[in-house]
Amino acid sequence: MAAYDVHRGDAVHPGKPVTVDRYTVGARINHWITATSLVLLAISGLSMFHPSLFFLSGLFGGGPWVRFLHPWIGVVLFFGFLGLFIRFWKANLWKREDGTWLARVRDVLAAHDENLPEVGKYNAGQKFVFWAMSILIIVLITSGLVIWEQYFSAYTTLGQQRWALLIHSIAAVMAIGVWIIHVYAAIWVRGTIRAMTRGWVTGGWAWRHHRKWLRELVTMRSGEGSGSGSKPAE
């Protein structure tokens, strides 16, 4: 059994309904700091992207404040997502069932769950969002440092800064697109938002959407209760 799919704090609680702990308080705080940072970055970045969007800078106190705050919020985003990456990268490794899930995406959209394979804590769509954001945030922080004139202009050329700005803008638009997909999916799959606000889901939700993870969780916790089983991931 793969211990990477079960994290410390994951637990099943009997009752009516059965509830399953999915995210710890620390993981939820980490997530919302990252999410808030991404939204603030998107708004402040768009205010500098085109003159027609400059009015958004008023939310931050004007143009000078936007130019000052935007890169620092980017630093917060980077370290916030780094915390999520350390917590969840193992659970987002690609598995055989993910390819099958992706090949049957029409059944996913049509909610024909009986035609889908059992998946772990995250399905292929969630893993796509995780790895796409991982790559894009690395691109954003790297290119962002190049164009952070206050601290790094002396170490780069004007040509490098222009290329970095173009790459930064493209990566930002892509990141906003991935974020929209993430939010839409969270709203579309009923019960998902509760997992990241309250930390738990119902047993029925876990059985329907992440049955393999639920099986692993129950088996592992049973093994721990009898003095055996693998140690869950941090």
The residue annotated as part of the active site, out of 31, 70, 168, 182, is 182
Tokens representing 158 are 């004007």
Tell me whether residue 182 is one of the annotated catalytic residues. yes
CB 155 within 8 A of CB 179: no
In a 3-state reduction of DSSP, which class is residue 34?
A: helix
DSSP notation for 154-166? GGS-HHHHHHHHH
Rounded distance between C-alpha atoms, residue 200 and residue 21, angstroms: 4
Indicate the Cα dihedral angle 67, 72, 74, 76, nearest 10°. -160
> What's phi and psi for 198, nearest 5 deg?
-110, -20
Rounded distance between C-alpha atoms, residue 146 and residue 163, angstroms: 9
- Whole-angstrom distance between the N-terminal and C-terminal Cα of the chain? 16
Tokens representing 75 are 């630093």
Numbers of helices and strands, H then E, in the chain: 10, 3
Q: Where in the sequence numbering do the catalytic residues fall?
A: 182
